[in-house]
Chains A and B, each alone.
Chain A
């Protein structure tokens, strides 16, 4: 245990009202990958920020190379060679790739001006070297804004490698990457490992843990639960440590009688995002849409909800052709969309619950030019109670609710409009395992009451467990349609990554 280069001992971090980290331990070893595992809210991101000097711990000590250290700012940890690729973007859209890589650590000109003058040619040349060493082919002079998400991620990684790092922290690095890019990342991590870097790998995905990691550390609710070698454990054991109870992943799929065709989409096209999208949706059906991030699935859903432009093709509801140019049109035709980014697109944080619920149908609640507050309240009460939103009152501002309850308010808002088709985009993203089951159960209830559900998801078990039918998308096209019975994980993944079904 003495050979750890970087250790946290009984480190705590308290925010008003929350103990985000409670005397946690973590050890990182040179040349080894340590996986940090925990549900959402387990304190992983807080830990990263504490390790990189963004937050200062309220207790405990951080030991680097055998000596206790204290980070006053990100600069201090950077100076010791601790570098992190954060979950959220910490890059600069309007600067060049080269500058993004070296910002905070510019190469300076030699000679008398060394303190003052940035050496741009060296910066560009060294960027090129680092980028080719990780197989990322791009022009260092390009402005970051022009790159794809995956490419930006590679810039983030190049940035971490630009310093002579001893400790590399990867906070859910594969979340936004395609299949192909994920494998490049694996190679990269192994490469770093061989160079003797100590790596902390934070992820939700167990397959990654078993592919990459040598050791694991498990957190739960801000507490340290356990650590050990990957070779001595298995997935069931890790999940048990994470949730402190064994869960069997069965999905609450109910058999619902499938009714007549409700929605029919034919030949939906967009100039750059998707083409030839045709499918139908029946009453009482859950249609799963699977694809990697960037496969165009969200863009298709946004077209159905009227937020995308330049869309051609036809959409029929109950056999009648409808035109959808705005969310207003979609809502009027009974199509609603629960977006992936709830805080940004789903909800007004500063408004009370009741006003969030009534937002899409203010006109209906208005009498003689005045909003009927009693009606508004009863509407909110009805749907929030049905969804079991936990709040001290329906006048509570949404920003004071937990993430799970905010999600419920979004769904309540749309259910209150009495929709026929409800589109759920990544409905369980960022939700812990306990709440996930609740969301799945609720989807079954929805179809039971005669709605049709389109569920967009990148989680394979969820898609396979909940869908009656599965559409698979790749590069803006529907590449396969599988019935529940014929869908296997292998088939779905192979289609989504550009292969063809052979089995």
Chain B
């Protein structure tokens, strides 16, 4: 079991992330201290959650470019609601964030499901629309920390067992998605619908509906992250998370989620996101300008894709008998 994991793609990537993490620790021991490790995970939590949603979308042969815009819009709505109605309880605000995110995701999903619009086109459109709406709503103005209620800002920072709530939320999201992808029919349908849509249809799976669910989940998680983002940085403005969707897609691709659909695991997705998180945090420590960060993630994507492509090469059927195979074996080698 363990051996199988180590030879899998997720296993290799985990080892690389671990090596990177420990390697930086050799230069700067503080990097691998427990508090700093928690802080790296906390920094990466939002990326992890968005990547989980994106993973479902990519599994079904789609892509969701509107996640970052969804974060910005939902974040702005929640922040302004808090600003104008500071007495509203946090529970209501979180439900609002989830519901609004789900709605924005559902809009993408409905277009893909019912109108069969290519997802890259529709989410490219809604990406601009959602961000445009953020601008219209706020009139370009910021919501600053002093305009937010104390509990609004404190919630993700509250520590349980010296780990912030933000991280706990990510952990819960990982567990729920992991369980659903392995044990629920709903989750397995993402693999079948993306792996072979025709066969999935023949098996009674409604492929369009599965794609809709993927966008719904992606949107819901984006909505949640909208609140978490503005609360964590204690500011809401139009350009929140600008361009972040590319990092989300990058985390998925690095984590081995096949862009042609049907292949990918929660572990891979999380490790892919952690890779980006560790690199982002390590660069300043080893004295490399953060400007390198984009280029490095890009390089890793290219290497990951090349590694994938070369492992698929030359996988021909094997017709000739292997020399060691006895002649009277019942099973012919391969027909």
CB-based nearest B residue for A294: B335
> Of B40-48, B133-141, B290-298, B311-319, which binds chain A?
B311-319
For A149, what are the chain B residues with a Cβ–Cβ distance below 8 Å? 317, 335
Bound-state CA distance A103–B203 (Å) is: 7
Interface residues of A in 71-125 (CB under 8 A from B): 73-75, 78, 86, 88-95, 99, 103-104, 106, 116-118, 120
B160-206 residues at the A interface, CB under 8 angstroms: 182-185, 188, 191-192, 195-196, 198-206
A104 B196 Cβ-Cβ under 8 A: no
Residues of A within 8 A of B191 (CB): 92, 94-95
Given A90-B198, A118-B184, A274-B203 contact (CB < 8 Å): no
In the complex, whether B150 has a CB less than 8 A from a CB of chain A is no
- Would you call A293 and B203 a contact (CB within 8 A)? no
In the complex, which residues of chain A have a beta carbon less than 8 angstroms from the beta carbon of B103? none
Q: What chain B residues lie within 8 Å of A177 (beta carbons)?
A: 335
Does B263 lie at the interface of the complex (its beta carbon under 8 Å from any beta carbon of A)? yes
Find chain A residues with CB under 8 A from B263 CB. 94
What is the CB-to-nearest-CB distance from B70 to chain A, in angstroms, rounded to a whole number? Answer: 28
Interface SS, A side: loop
Q: CA of A293 to CA of B182 in the docked complex: distance in angstroms?
A: 37
CA distance A86 to B199 in the complex (A): 10
Known A92-B196, A475-B333: A104·B203 in contact at CB below 8 Å: yes
Q: Which residues of B contact A299 (CB under 8 A)?
A: 316, 319
Size of the chain A interface, CB-CB below 8 angstroms: 47
Is A272 an interface position by the 8 A CB rule?
yes
Complex: how many Å from CA A120 to CA B332? 30
Interface check B324, CB cutoff 8 A: no
The answer to whether A74 touches B185 (Cβ under 8 A) is: no
* Interchain CB contact under 8 A, B183 and A272: no
Smallest CB-CB separation from A156: which chain B residue?
A: B199
User: Nearest-CB distance from B235 to chain A (Å)?
Assistant: 40
A273 in contact with B318 given A54-B202, A78-B204 (CB within 8 Å):
yes
Contact B335 A92 (CB under 8 A): no
0/1 string, B51-68, CB within 8 A of A gives 1: 000000000000000000
**Would you give the 0/1 interface string for B197-240, flagging 1 where the beta carbon is closer than 8 Å to chain A?**
01111111110000000000000000000000000000000000
**Chain B interface category by residue count:** 20 to 34
Q: Is A181 on the interface with B (CB-CB < 8 A)?
A: yes
Which chain A residue shows the least CB distance to B191?
A95
Task: Say how far A152's CB is from chain B's closest CB, in angstroms.
Answer: 11
Q: Do the beta carbons of B202 and A294 come within 8 Å of each other?
A: no
Partner of B188, one of A89, A91, A103: A103
Query: Is A148 part of the contact surface with B, judged by Cβ < 8 Å?
Result: yes
Which residues in A have their C-beta under 8 angstroms from that of B332? 178, 180, 475
Q: With CB as the reference atom, state the residue of chain A lying closest to B206.
A: A73
Query: What's the minimum C-beta distance from A26 to chain B, rounded to whole angstroms?
Result: 20
- Checking A75, A104, A120, A148 against B335 with a beta-carbon cut-off of 8 angstroms, the contacting residue is A148
Within 8 A of B (CB), among A277-297: 292-296
Give per-residue flags for A176-199: 1 if the beta carbon is below 8 A from chain B beta carbons, else 0: 011011000000000000000000
Most buried by B among A95, A137, A150, A295: A95
- Whole-angstrom distance between the alpha carbons of A148 and B184 in the complex? 29
B334's nearest neighbour on chain A, judged by CB, is A148
Cross-chain contact A273 with B202 (CB below 8 angstroms): no
If A273-B318, A476-B319 touch, whether A104 touches B204 (CB-CB below 8 Å) is: yes
Q: Are A273 and B195 in contact (CB under 8 A)?
A: no
Assess the B202–A74 pair: CB atoms within 8 A: yes
B87 CB–A CB distance under 8 Å: no
Q: Does A358 interact with chain B (Cβ within 8 Å)? A: no
Q: Mark A483-503, 1 if CB is under 8 A from B, else 0.
A: 000000000000000000000
Q: What are 23 A-B pairs at a CB distance below 8 A?
A: A74-B201, A86-B202, A88-B198, A91-B196, A92-B192, A92-B195, A93-B195, A94-B262, A103-B200, A104-B203, A117-B184, A118-B182, A118-B188, A148-B335, A149-B335, A178-B332, A180-B335, A272-B316, A299-B319, A475-B320, A475-B321, A476-B319, A476-B320
Enumerate chain A interface residues (CB-CB to B < 8 A): 52, 54, 73-75, 78, 86, 88-95, 99, 103-104, 106, 116-118, 120, 137, 148-150, 177-178, 180-181, 270, 272-275, 292-296, 299, 309-310, 475-477
Chain B residues with a Cβ under 8 A of chain A:
182-185, 188, 191-192, 195-196, 198-206, 262-263, 314, 316-321, 331-335
